């Protein structure tokens, strides 16, 4: 506690190796707050700086933290094909408004092994015609993989964009059986 009897914000982080490269996971007392793709040292440093600025606490590396242990375990199970749903507390504090509404709908309404169009997802949150705004929400997703923005595709069958790169999106969709495994 601080001198005013308030609990100080705690942010812990760790890196987990996956089939799509290293992911940095960060958590607060509320839950998982951030997942970062391609977590090289340079990417981690930038992400940690953003988290410190946004959350008001310096993130501490703590792979053994109870806040992260369950998230790491579930991530490993997901990539091993043994888990289809993440059952983790999430800290939504890095996202708000329309983006949060869209991401919550995505997390609860688009199950493993399925996809949804940008426009369809916009309609689900009462904003038909807001497909581009949904695309922006996907790009702002602080919790990719867990909040499965890789499951959002173009209505004409195109794969759409992806913050982790199109190869990563293809691998995640292949893992879930939506796309065939890449040949090479």
Please give the positions annotated as active site.
149
Task: Look at phi and psi of residue 78 and say left if phi exceeds 0, alpha if psi is from -120 to 50, else beta.
Answer: alpha
Among 55, 73, 53, smallest CA distance to 64 is for 73
CA–CA gap between residue 99 and residue 14 (Å, rounded): 26
**Continuous segment of H or E residues that includes residue 23:** strand 23-27
């Amino acid at each position: 506690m601080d001198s005013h009897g308030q609990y100080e914000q705690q942010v812990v982080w760790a890196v987990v190796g996956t089939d799509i490269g290293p992911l940095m996971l960060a958590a607060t007392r509320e839950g998982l707050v951030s997942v970062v793709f391609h977590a090289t040292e340079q990417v981690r440093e930038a992400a940690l700086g953003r988290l410190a600025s946004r959350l008001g606490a310096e993130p501490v590396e703590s792979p053994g933290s109870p806040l992260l242990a369950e998230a790491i375990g579930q991530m490993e199970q997901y990539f091993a094909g043994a888990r289809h749903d993440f059952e983790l507390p999430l800290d939504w504090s890095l996202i708000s408004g329309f983006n949060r509404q869209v991401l919550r709908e995505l997390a609860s309404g688009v199950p493993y092994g399925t996809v949804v169009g940008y426009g369809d997802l916009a309609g689900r949150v009462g904003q038909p015609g807001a497909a581009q705004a949904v695309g922006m929400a996907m790009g702002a997703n602080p919790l990719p993989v867990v909040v499965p923005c890789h499951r959002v595709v173009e209505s004409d069958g195109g794969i759409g964009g992806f913050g982790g790169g199109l190869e990563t999106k293809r691998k995640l969709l292949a893992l879930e059986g939506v796309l065939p495994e890449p040949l090479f």
